[in-house]
Each structure stands twice: as structure tokens, then as C-alpha cells.
Structure 1
Amino acid sequence: MSQDSTQQFAPPATRLPRGSCDTHAHVFGPYDQFPLADPRPYTPAPAPKEQYFAMLDAMGFDHGVLVHGGAHGWDQRAMLDAIASAPDRLKGVGVLSADADVTELKRLDKAGVRGLRFTEVAGPNAAQDFAGRVGLKALHRLAPGMRQLGWHAVIWANASVFESETDTLRQLGLPIVIDHLGYFDVSKGVDDAAFQAVLALVADGAAWIKLTAFRNSKRQPELDDVRPFHQALVSANPERLLWGSDWPFLGMNTWRPDPAGLLNLLNQWVDDDAVRQRVLVTNPAALYGFE
């Protein structure tokens, strides 16, 4: 399932249902038009909107959701420019500082943004204060304005964060979207308390979750160590599941997936057509407001 993002994209083995949506991808550049922030947490290869649309077309996605990439700092123009190119096809998830007012939220809402992302994931850059990175403290300050617009909060955090913050997140009065399958520790198994906290949020409808399996796996490219967690989430509540490619696969240096391979894996792991229809079409349409 390895592929360079500058090459032609091969389609998945099975045609996607009409109205399918990739709910997680990023665009970067072109850098003479949309420069990277300095300093920044990483330096991505250019992934302009033309490549992104080529990926969507090759996979058969009618819709897509772009998540603002942190390497652009507070500058969200690359994402907003792509959305403006196809406003009926795309929506966005942005970032704002904790002191942003409702006027700024409304400006982004008009531009197609439907939520904000908050990052609490542990890692080598976790303690650094990069432009464009906000944590859960900002979410509490921004939540009233987000509720006013019907937005949701996307949270990129380790599973242990959802365990410790469960009660607080449930009281926000906002739809919560958990990034990257909850970013659990696969070595601890499905009975681990942190994963069980993620599972409970999804099971009772308090949170949505993106079925992006590869970042959790210690067995790439097979990814079979993630399958029990994936199955637990599918069994818990199909009405709160989303699918995202995570293209262009930031930080995947020794092995990089390709979108078609990940879709083929979804078809293997979810062999129920009705569930796949819900994951790829019905759920994202409900959350993001696609026709």
C-alpha cells in the first residue's frame, strides 16, 4: 500500500457508494502563495489542492473534509482556498486561538469551516508552543461560539486524555470528533481503560470517531494489530463512525500508505454494505451538512 503523493493514484478495488466522503486530509502550499510558518512542528512536502482533488477523484469521493495543517501556523488560506474551489464538495476544520471572537468564527463558517481542531497528543513537539496549535483549555473558551454555529470539536489526543477528560467533554454541549481511532496504545489491548473510555464515548453517541487505523499500528503495512480495536468501535455504534485517509500521510517516512489500500482494508474489516454506507456517506453528511 505504498505510494508517493506526486504519482498517479490507483483506485480502490471496490467502487465507493455515491456521496462518499473522506473526512480527514490536509493541503500544503504552493509555498510561494501560502508559505509555511516559522518555526513549525514539521516541514511537509507540497501537497496543493490539485493533488488533493486528484486523490478524491481517483478514489471516487464526492466529498471531502480538509483539516488545517499545523505547518501553516495560523494561516488557513491554503485550506480555505481549496474549499472555495469546490464549496459544495468540501468543508473544513480550522484552528483558532482561545481569544478569537464570534465574528472570526462566523467568517470561517461562511467560508465552509464546520469545526475546530484541538491537539493534546504526546510527542517530541508536544511541549512546544507552535503557532496554530491549541489545546483543550482553548476549547472551553471557544465552546460557546462554536455551539452558536452548530460546530464540532475535533480532538487529536492520546486515548489516556479521553479517559481523564471524559466528564468534561460530555458536559461541553458540542459534538466531539475523536481523531485517528483514539490514538490508543495497541500493546495494552482492547480492555485497557483508556481505550475503553474512547469506546464508551462512541458507544453512547457522545463522540464521533475517525477510522484511521495506521497511526496506531506497530505492524505496518499489515495493520492487523489494530483490527480488534476497529471491530470494537464498529460494533459499539456504527452511527458515530467516520472514515479519513489522512492524506498526504505526514510523518510516515519508513512506510507510507496509499488511500486505495486503506479503503481496501476498510472493505475487508467492515463487510457489511449498510455499515460502509453509513461510515462513508450517511454519517459525514449528517455531521458536515453535505447534501
Structure 2
Amino acid sequence: MRTGIIEQAILNQLYTGSWRVADLVEYISAVTNVSVQGVYKAVRKLKAEEVVFVYGKFIALSGIWIAQEKEKLLFAEQAYKSAVDFDELTKVKKSKKMVTSFNTLNEIDLFWTHSYFQCAEQVDISAPSYSIQPHDWYPYVRPETDAYWIQKHLETKRLSRILLTHCGVLDMVVLKSRKKELGKLIEYTMGENPLKQKSTTYYNLLGPYIFKAEFDSVVASKLDRFVATHSRLPLQIEAQKEIEQIVQTKGIFKLTIEKSEEKAKKMEQKLKKYFQFL
């Protein structure tokens, strides 16, 4: 199946569960600026290809299609794991860094998530992960990668420690939701900035690996304003349209991956006191 932009937008929403057909069409039309007729055409295409099925006034993903896609993805995941380890893939060696540039938030997040979990394969499960960032917007900005992140932490039982340098209402809503999903596997702190980072900078620490994501300043400012002016989830249609525009905004994004036992240990010492685990 060759998936177009509209078809993919439909699938992205159906990944979360079934929808009323009329509501889904209205939502997709609003966030993509495609006519209602155009969205219905995409729905009919997915139905003809047996990707989705319609029952009464509702639409859902086909269980058979899900199983087929899962099998493909599991094969791909194993292929990437066995093909090359993380260090060889990224050329990261002791006392060296890998720096990669991207044009949009979507692009950096996709590689960031992929490389993070490639790295996690190399780190003992007893080592907690740290996320030190201005905001936690992933569930409503990048729901696909966020769902993958949660799934991986639940599967491995690795502890996750999140420190937000800001303390907005929307951030609190997200973190409370994370606590419900992950329970004892997560601990969070808000309103602290031990690394003195800017609102454009995001860190991950996992074993000897340090991830530093630097966002385009315009996009980072838009995210700051969005978090400051919203307080509820799920987002309304207009708010979701605003987010779609933000993630598609082109700019300069940079991801630095460094492997350094010494630097990582010093960094962890600065962070430990903000959490209850130790």
C-alpha cells in the first residue's frame, strides 16, 4: 500500500482507537486543510485496500492489517539490531562526538528516538534514563514516537527520570498522565535547571551516552508560547492545527551524541539529588 499524506493522517488517528467517521473526517480536514470530499476519498481508498473497516457510524483499523504490519516492523527491528551496533552506526567512539543537523522538529525527533533506543540496547537495564528538558510536549506533538518510548520503558522496566526546567500547567498534565502509565518506573521534577540550559536545549543521559538536542530558536519560542497558553489535553482542533504548523516549521536543529563515561557520571551526580530513587 502506498500511503499518501491524507491516508497517513487518518492512520495516525486510528492508531489511538476507533472514531466516528464524521468526526474523523472533520478533524483530518481541519488539520490538513483538505476538503471533506478529499478526506472521504482517502477513507474509501483505505477501505478498499482492507486497511480499515467501517461499522455503522464508526471506522477502525483492520486487525489483519495490524498483524501484517507488526510482523514487517519486527523483522525490520531485528535487522537493524543485527546489522550493526550503535557505535559503529554513528561513528561515536571514546572521547568523540557525532553531530547531525536537521531541518524540522519531526526530522530530529525521528532520528533522536531511533538512536536513543539503539543506544539503550548497549546499556544495562539497571541504569536509569534521564531526560532534562524545558517542556514535555511529546504526547501531543509527536504521539507516535512518544507511544514507542512508553512501550519500550514498560517492556524493559528501565527507570525514567524526567526533569523539566519549566513548570507550566500543560507540562504538569502530561507528567501526571505519564505517572499513571508508568507508575514506579517514572520520577519527575519541575522548575529546576541544574545544567543551566537554554529553552532551546534538551538532554538525555543513558549510561555513558549523552544526547544534546538543540532546537531552532524560532520553533523553541513557539513551543514555549504554546505550552504557556494551553492547559488541557486532548487538544482542541485549532490547537492541534497550531502544533502541526510548528512541527513543519523549517529551521536549524542539531543533535549531538557523545559517549563518555567520565562526563556522564559527572552529569548524573548533578541530577541525582532531584529524584527520590536514591
- Given the two structures, how large is their TM-score scaled by the length of structure 1? 0.32
- Given the two structures, how large is their TM-score scaled by the length of structure 2? 0.33
Q: Which has the higher helix share?
A: 2
Q: Which has the higher strand share?
A: 2
Higher gyration radius (CA): 2
